[in-house]
A and B are shown apart, each in its own frame.
Chain A
């Protein structure tokens, strides 16, 4: 009896925390389907704001930028990060430790400092070569913060691998490059895929670093920020709902692959 009472108490506390976390999101999703402009009064169900969303060229342009940046940054960071992990795994200890510590740096530095530091470097380079802060610099920045996540997803898989299989391939006459492609890559592919999904989510999600590394080009986060400065509007609710569901879908895939805290 007492035990049941305590279980109920614990359950209600968790429920309260969930209520705290989800009520703003629930309100947002609900009112994205509101027929009227109000964000507090229900005026009937409609897809009006979604229609408006898809007819808004600025939002569609920002969506395009977000997707292109995320796609390119993911591909490049997966290649860089996987090769980096394989290299570090095969290197002597001192060099490996230095490079691993260097990889922690962008993960621990405040985003705003990463953002402004890249902004200044791009500004400096612009003095010599014609380079504008835009989609290109945003991609460079995204690769920079994505790659360590790929590296740290691949590293554990390399450590789990039996080193003898690679040696065996070489003994059987395989060239090192072929052995890498035929033996190592398939073994670590779960880590590579997890890393790729992490990189994709991080990139789709980023605001602060993107904000400082581009000038006129907007991704969705930057667009939401400038829209929010002018006040809340239901078409952004609709956009947020779509983005929320996208991240949710990506997460379910990532979560199926590994429990959340396995990595890092």
Chain B
């Protein structure tokens, strides 16, 4: 038996459980289930519905994009310095610190969200401190800020990991050369370190933006359902509204949107040095 045949079961599995399901998304997206139970080909009508309905879904889509972009920006601003400091000579030997920063990444994200709920809830830790100090109780849960906090809290390590990996692998001699040629530290950073770390920034952005734009649990729990995101709408279509066709159209639309943004991001990374490391 040829060794290459060993991959046959894997290939079959991947086709059956990855390709076939995607075909279903496509088929449901272009059909509509009629009252008599038959499926009717309706072309792009479902996709059109995303733009119609007096802009309801466009508003949701806009909110998802804007929250995910804000989350990505905050993660980049908070995470870059952290990755940079951890990779610097001062802390390079402290591997434990790095592992500690990454550890929450492997913790179930629902548990992390649940834990942050405990901080923010009406009778939670923050409010008990606030009231003990004599201030009025804050309404934290159910606000857009809480959802944003939940996203940043969940995805920050995903920004730090790839940037740190790239900074760590960077050829230190290039930086020394810049210093020898008379560049001051600020200039070395802007002209050498930052441009060289762009591949890491790009995979960081991908790893934060993608899950935050598609999330539904964070907004559901920390936003108390006041802030529907595109993921929540998809979840509703499949789990309660029972409109798989529209749900599929939304899934398809969202996937295409994500693929386009990943494509654009990767084009920015002209060096094509590959990504700075996935979750694993």
Residues of A within 8 A of B (CB): 6-7, 10-11, 13-14, 17-18, 20-25, 27-28, 31, 38-41, 80-81, 83-92, 95, 99, 102-103, 105-114, 116-121, 123-124, 140-141, 143-144, 147, 149, 151-153, 176-177, 180, 198, 201, 204-205, 207-208, 212, 221, 224-225, 228-229, 231-232, 236-237, 240, 243-244, 247-248, 251, 255, 260-261, 263-264
Contacts and interface: CB of A to CB of B under 8 A. Distances in A.
B128 A40 contact: yes
Interface of B: 1-11, 13-15, 17-22, 24-25, 28, 78, 81-82, 85-86, 88, 90-91, 97, 99-104, 106-119, 121, 123-125, 127-128, 153, 156-157, 161, 165, 210-211, 214, 216-217, 220-221, 231, 234-235, 238-239, 244, 247-248, 251, 254-255, 258, 262, 277-280
Contacts of A120: 21, 24-25, 28, 244, 248
Nearest to B278: A264
Contacts of B210: 110
Nearest to A41: B128
A144 B18 contact: yes
A24 B126 CA distance: 11
Residue picked from B110, B113, B210, most chain A C-beta under 10 Å: B110
A228 B113 contact: yes
B85 A224 contact: no
A24 B115 contact: yes
Contacts of A228: 110, 113-114, 117, 221
Contact of A144 (B13, B104, B109, B161): B13
Nearest to A110: B214
A108 B211 CA distance: 10
Residue picked from B14, B221, B234, most chain A C-beta under 10 Å: B14
A224 B110 contact: yes
Contacts of B111: 28, 224, 240, 243-244
A18 B90 CA distance: 17
A118 B279 CA distance: 23
A14 B9 contact: no
A177 B238 contact: no
Nearest to A221: B110
Residue picked from A92, A110, A143, A244, most chain B C-beta under 10 Å: A110
Contacts of A111: 211, 214
Nearest to A263: B280
Given A27-B119, A263-B280, A232 B114 contact: yes
A121 B161 contact: no
A133 B280 CA distance: 30
Nearest to B24: A120
14 contacts: A14-B85, A14-B86, A18-B101, A28-B118, A89-B3, A102-B14, A102-B19, A112-B251, A117-B21, A117-B22, A151-B10, A240-B114, A264-B279, A264-B280
